[in-house]
Structure 1
Amino acid sequence: MSTFRGNDMNAKLVAIYRYALQADKMDVTLRQAVEVVGYSEKQVKRDIKAWEAMGWVTYQAGKGRGHESMLRFQSDFDETLQAWVVTSFSEATMAQAAKWLEWDWPPALRELIQARIWNRFGFEQTEEDRFIFPRTRTLESLDPLDIHIAMEASLSRHVFDRLFEWDGTTVQPSLAHHMEETPFGFRCYIRKGITFHNGMTLTGKDVVYSLSRLLARGKQVWLFAPIDRVDSPAPYVVDLYTKAHRAYIERLLAQTPASVTYEGAEGIVGTGPFKLEKQSDDVVRLRAFERGLRPRPSLDVVEFVTFSEADHAKWSARDDHSVVKWIAEAGARYLMFNLQHSWLKEDMATRRAIQRAIDKQAVVDLGGERHQVAHGFFPETSRPISLAEPSESSKRPLRLLHLPFDVATEDAALVASQLRAAGFTVETETYALSCLLQEETLRRADLILCGEMMSEDLDLAFLAFLTSELSLVGKLVAHETDLRTMMDRYRQTDMSAWPMLHREVERYLTEAALVIPLYHVERERSFPSFLGDVPVDIFGHPRYDQLWIRPSV
């Protein structure tokens, strides 16, 4: 009878066992074992000695030519492995379980493991109320200055506060309880008694540090340029030196980059309803903060565990995902011309030929999340814009980059086929989302398929989209002087008239063939039934500070 000690079980042994089962055997040659695990013979032999000591396998060295060394599993090894799964997965953290799920398990055991993991997702009520949720990639950054991905933006707003908050229609006081006009700009009065997650008291100096850091190192230089400098003449007073009007400044200070963070712990310590307790490639853990500005969340812990795309898809397809919400995104999926590194930047005729070659309706007809044809980036006001008459264009080869996800791959395949039908030579490649803005990625692209999901404040989100270093469009149109001249008009125009400027800018983007909006998105998000009528933000992520577990009494 083999003994059981979980620490000695590893991915190599499991992979070799699966290989043996597939061959309908209980033994494999040493050569086969080495090929299966991809390690050296010396390393595998070292492992075999440990497995032999556990009573899991026996090993017989080959003697003489034609006699291979053999590894044989004990007859009760399947029971041993199942016992390890039951015991280890019940005691392991979710991060450990996620790592073990990556092993090359026999199919039946893998289904058992998945069921045990999935049953632990959702609300867990022990000595504290915990919410565990899977995610499919490593968190990039929660530093407010670096955020350009929806999930990070959603989590960041749970960790950090701002001087003001935008509720979708109006600006509400937050860390600042009052703001008044002055000859130099505006004076903000900071609430007293607010503490950071590290226990330090928030004062005007912390606000000055955060905003000064934004002005010096932020990626949205154009958007925040109207603020000349920031000062704190008293502990709970902050002066903003600017000539911009009040409505603009209040909404500007409600943006994610204007979040207040603690010096030396940027992107980690804030004053929001959750504090960042752990961040690694495997897990992100948020814990409710007791002494923040906003009400203490009902949940004690929110934890995100990294799983593969395939495992996440299986979890999302489970029968208990009966709560369905349709999230209509502000923004669009679009095709961007590489206006910095591609030959297309000097060839407007070819860019226009590419415009005319693309059948947007055919892309929408692929179905799924593709909701309606886009002519701009505001779904409610999306209207066709006339294209220039065709002229002679180049047929030089084009390289089209897209994300490696199914929807993006389908979009790229159809766009490439439409361009080939128009006489272009097109090759497609993928890029990683984390590498999109890197020079190495941009230098190999002529066309890039991407998407923009705008935040609650659509007006400022659109301006950031066109000017921010964290936006693909903003990065690639930075040298378009005519566009920048149009953008400068926003600063001289009352915000009530901005929608008219938005339409003018969208028309220019099309007429100058800088970017091709393809379609607007409406995504189906399914949630486990235990969440009930879960509140979601504009990005389609739950508002974790509003979730709660009904006590079992």
Structure 2
Amino acid sequence: MKIMDHYIRLRLSFPNEQHIQNSLQELAAILFCSTKNVKILLKKMSEEKLIDWIPGRGRGNKTEIHFLHTFTEAILPHVEELLKNEKLKEVFLLLKEPLPFLLKEKIEERLNTYFGYTTSDDLYDVLKIPYNRKLLPIDPAFAAVTTESHLISQLVDTLVKYNEKTDEIEPHLAHTWEVGDDQLTWTFYLRKGVRFHHGQTLSGKDVIFSFERLKAVQSPFDWLTEGIEKIDNPSPLQVIFHLRKPNRFFLHYVSSVQLSILPHDVMIQNHQYIGTGPFKIKSLTEDHIILEAFPDYFKERALLDQIEFWFVPKQSKIRTNYELPNMGCKEEKAVETEEIGCIYAAFNFQKNGPQHDIYFRKAWAEIMDPLSLIQDLGDNRTMPAYSFFPDKSRTMHKETSLSKAKEYLQQSTYNGETLHIYFFAVKGSEYDAIWLQKRCEPLGICLQLHPFPVTDYFNKEIAKQADIILTGEVLDANLEMAFLHIFKNKSCFVHRFRHPHYHKQIESMLDRFIAEPSKEKRYDLISKIEKLLSDQYLLIFYYHVLKRRSFPSALQNVTIDSFGWTDFAKLWIRPHA
């Protein structure tokens, strides 16, 4: 321990006193050391100008200590030094101590100004973002959560990209492609001179490695490559995919972040993934991830030099309800985006229980009552959901009532069993679950609430224990592909909790969806699948979400994507006048 840590421990026992008298034995108990070491520590504190002290002479005489600074005067410079050396973990550990209220408030205020953007004299622009949970591994093969998916997209690239504005697939790592008349052979031609972050040049070997890796690592997205019979690499910059059957969506598959290209010649260690993207990983620990602009990016170099994500404990009062901090800037801009997707309740048909009874599921739909929930809880809950798509939900309406719920319960086989409802351990979900628990009480339904961290997303035990899950889907800008992911992605709870009988019906409709050339008819199939979900109460659509973002006016070129994030590579900071 450093001398400041010992000083803090001593000061916590006497936060308001400036002068104390204690025996060496009492001080040893406070500092968790021997009486001999107490003297050594007090001497060091004196040398650091933290205290003056007079040793007690003889048996029974107490040591006198005079604190040269108030607790606040001593701690705030220490916090500054920690921040200067980017030791945020130590600051957060300090905040866990029983500090005086005003001191804790001052430290939290300082932390709020620490985050945001900074520009140095040598024009090195840094954006520091606080984040209130630890991240899942930054691995394209397991990119199932919006934040991680967005970060991955800044590090890696795909062969082709989906353009939201034109609704077209465009060249990216591949500058062009050809498809055979039989729709079974797809040839991609790679750009020359594309470099990975470790300096090696992109080749067809990397493409083959990345596509085969999904199966090798048992990715929940291995369905993206199931239709590939084999992959040829006749020349370094040419890759030929041979499909088992025609797939009109193959280009969309290839544009998925899960099929981003990784180098074949590097063993991935400690999740230090190497890509060709506009940013590379500079530092990755359990407390932070720091991305640095990649100067050899094959397209435009990122305008920001560094982006830092720091994990902030929930207990702290650091503002983390936005992705673009607004610290130290009087002028701000705000953006509101309606998420495509919704919050829903899914029943676990992989486990025995009353959820297999349609009358119980009907009762649950009556209990949920999104209008009452929105009226009671408000916040970013905007309107009831009757579909994954907000525009469709606006055209629909359904009345619910607890009296109907009671009727359905009486017709069901529910017999007072305790139901286990799982949800992410975030504020909004916790409020939803508690609200539902209170709604269930007068009906005699016993709910046991199980919040779990996002880092447990892939935990297989959830499917063994949960009866119902409250969760949500945020759809990518490529809406049709995103809809496929809901049912094909093996980590998605819709897939994990699937009903064996109805899942086969949905799979059959999805096969027709993939083969259908007409966009209008594909959307008709989407509606039919959603109708099946609703009519059989396989899941209950709940509500849609409006995301609000604020950011400093000096931060330029901010465009919010479907996940509520911005493309970091295009951000830049307007210099102060």
User: TM-score band (shorter)?
Assistant: 0.7 to 0.9
- 2:125 aligned with 1:129: yes
Q: Which residue of 1 aligns with 2:317?
A: 311
Deviation at 1:260, TM superposition (A): 0.5
Q: Residue type matched to 1:53 in 2? A: K
Deviation at 1:179, TM superposition (A): 1.0
Deviation at 1:15, TM superposition (A): 4.8
Q: Which among 363, 368, 380 is matched to residue 373 of structure 2?
A: 363
Identity of aligned residues (%): 24
Deviation at 1:324, TM superposition (A): 1.4
CA–CA separation in structure 2 for the residues paired with 1:68 and 1:374: 74
Single out whichever of 429-438 and 519-528 deviates more from structure 2.
429-438
CA–CA separation in structure 2 for the residues paired with 1:206 and 1:133: 32
Q: Which residue of 2 aligns with 1:3?
A: none
Q: Which among 465, 477, 480 is matched to residue 459 of structure 1?
A: 480
- 2:178 aligned with 1:167: no
Q: Which residue of 1 aligns with 2:205?
A: 205
Q: Which among 111, 115, 140 is matched to residue 144 of structure 1?
A: 140
CA–CA separation in structure 2 for the residues paired with 1:351 and 1:68: 75
Tell me, what secondary structure is at the counterpart of 2:262?
A: coil
Superposition RMSD in Å: 3.4
CA contact (8 A) 2:19 2:67 kept: no
Q: 1:348 to 1:22 in 2, by over 3 A?
A: farther
Q: Residue type matched to 1:300 in 2? A: D
Deviation at 1:507, TM superposition (A): 1.3
Q: 1:79 to 1:158 in 2, by over 3 A?
A: closer
Q: Residue type matched to 1:121 in 2? A: F
Q: Which residue of 2 aligns with 1:420?
A: 441
Q: 1:438 to 1:75 in 2, by over 3 A?
A: same
CA contact (8 A) 2:346 2:468 kept: yes
CA–CA separation in structure 2 for the residues paired with 1:194 and 1:281: 31
Q: Which residue of 2 aligns with 1:531?
A: 555
- 2:287 aligned with 1:287: no
CA contact (8 A) 2:247 2:515 kept: no
Deviation at 1:542, TM superposition (A): 2.5
Q: Which residue of 1 aligns with 2:421?
A: 400
Q: 1:424 to 1:209 in 2, by over 3 A?
A: same
1:333-482 paired onto structure 2 within 5 Å: 333-365=343-375, 366-382=377-393, 383-384=396-397, 390=408, 391-395=411-415, 396-477=417-498, 479=500, 480-482=503-505
1:476-515 paired onto structure 2 within 5 Å: 476-477=497-498, 479=500, 480-494=503-517, 496=519, 497-515=521-539
Q: Which residue of 1 aligns with 2:85?
A: 92
Tell me, what secondary structure is at the counterpart of 1:124?
A: strand
- 2:235 aligned with 1:234: yes
CA-to-partner distance for each residue in 1:478-500, whole Å, 9 max, x for gaps?
74333333333323322512211
CA contact (8 A) 2:18 2:66 kept: no
Q: Which residue of 2 aligns with 1:180?
A: 178
Deviation at 1:312, TM superposition (A): 2.5
CA contact (8 A) 2:342 2:385 kept: yes
CA–CA separation in structure 2 for the residues paired with 1:292 and 1:518: 42
Single out whichever of 159-168 and 394-403 deviates more from structure 2.
394-403
Q: Residue type matched to 2:67 in 1? A: Q
CA contact (8 A) 2:18 2:67 kept: no
CA contact (8 A) 2:143 2:149 kept: yes
Single out whichever of 261-270 and 356-365 deviates more from structure 2.
261-270
Deviation at 1:429, TM superposition (A): 2.6
CA–CA separation in structure 1 for the residues paired with 2:447 and 2:30: 38
CA contact (8 A) 2:116 2:326 kept: no
CA–CA separation in structure 1 for the residues paired with 2:360 and 2:481: 32
Deviation at 1:226, TM superposition (A): 2.5
Deviation at 1:338, TM superposition (A): 1.8
Tell me, what secondary structure is at the counterpart of 1:286?
A: strand
CA-to-partner distance for each residue in 1:8-36, whole Å, 9 max, x for gaps?
212x6425424422689856889998998
CA contact (8 A) 1:98 1:307 kept: no
CA contact (8 A) 1:373 1:520 kept: yes
CA–CA separation in structure 2 for the residues paired with 1:83 and 1:385: 56
Single out whichever of 515-524 and 208-217 deviates more from structure 2.
208-217
Single out whichever of 216-225 and 140-149 deviates more from structure 2.
216-225
Single out whichever of 74-83 and 147-156 deviates more from structure 2.
74-83
Q: 1:368 to 1:103 in 2, by over 3 A?
A: closer
CA contact (8 A) 2:76 2:107 kept: no
CA contact (8 A) 1:342 1:445 kept: no
CA-to-partner distance for each residue in 1:364-399, whole Å, 9 max, x for gaps?
222111011011211112235799994333132212
Deviation at 1:440, TM superposition (A): 2.9
CA-to-partner distance for each residue in 1:382-435, whole Å, 9 max, x for gaps?
235799994333132212222232211211112122222333122223111111
CA–CA separation in structure 1 for the residues paired with 2:545 and 2:435: 17
Q: Residue type matched to 1:269 in 2? A: I
1:255-274 paired onto structure 2 within 5 Å: 255-263=256-264, 264-266=266-268, 268-274=273-279
Single out whichever of 388-397 and 305-314 deviates more from structure 2.
388-397
Q: Residue type matched to 1:218 in 2? A: S
Deviation at 1:308, TM superposition (A): 2.2
Q: 1:470 to 1:62 in 2, by over 3 A?
A: farther
Q: Residue type matched to 1:106 in 2? A: P
After TM superposition, the score normalised by the length of structure 1 is: 0.87
Single out whichever of 176-185 and 384-393 deviates more from structure 2.
384-393
Q: Which residue of 1 aligns with 2:545?
A: 521
CA–CA separation in structure 2 for the residues paired with 1:172 and 1:282: 37
1:13-32 paired onto structure 2 within 5 Å: 13-21=7-15, 26=20
CA contact (8 A) 1:89 1:116 kept: no
CA-to-partner distance for each residue in 1:35-71, whole Å, 9 max, x for gaps?
989xxx448985774244322465989999xx99989
Q: Residue type matched to 1:301 in 2? A: Q
CA–CA separation in structure 2 for the residues paired with 1:466 and 1:487: 9
Deviation at 1:164, TM superposition (A): 0.6
The runs of 5 or more residues in structure 1 that have no matched partner are 1-5
Q: 1:502 to 1:74 in 2, by over 3 A?
A: same
Deviation at 1:212, TM superposition (A): 1.4
Q: Residue type matched to 2:132 in 1? A: T
Deviation at 1:132, TM superposition (A): 1.7
CA–CA separation in structure 1 for the residues paired with 2:56 and 2:506: 74
Tell me, what secondary structure is at the counterpart of 1:487?
A: helix
CA–CA separation in structure 2 for the residues paired with 1:363 and 1:29: 60
CA contact (8 A) 1:14 1:103 kept: no
CA contact (8 A) 1:101 1:114 kept: no
The runs of 5 or more residues in structure 2 that have no matched partner are none
CA–CA separation in structure 2 for the residues paired with 1:542 and 1:271: 19
CA–CA separation in structure 1 for the residues paired with 2:537 and 2:18: 61
Q: Residue type matched to 1:88 in 2? A: E
CA–CA separation in structure 2 for the residues paired with 1:363 and 1:45: 63
CA contact (8 A) 1:223 1:464 kept: no
Deviation at 1:247, TM superposition (A): 4.3
Deviation at 1:343, TM superposition (A): 1.4
After TM superposition, the score normalised by the length of structure 2 is: 0.84
Q: Which among 569, 572, 576 is matched to residue 545 of structure 1?
A: 569
Q: Residue type matched to 1:489 in 2? A: R
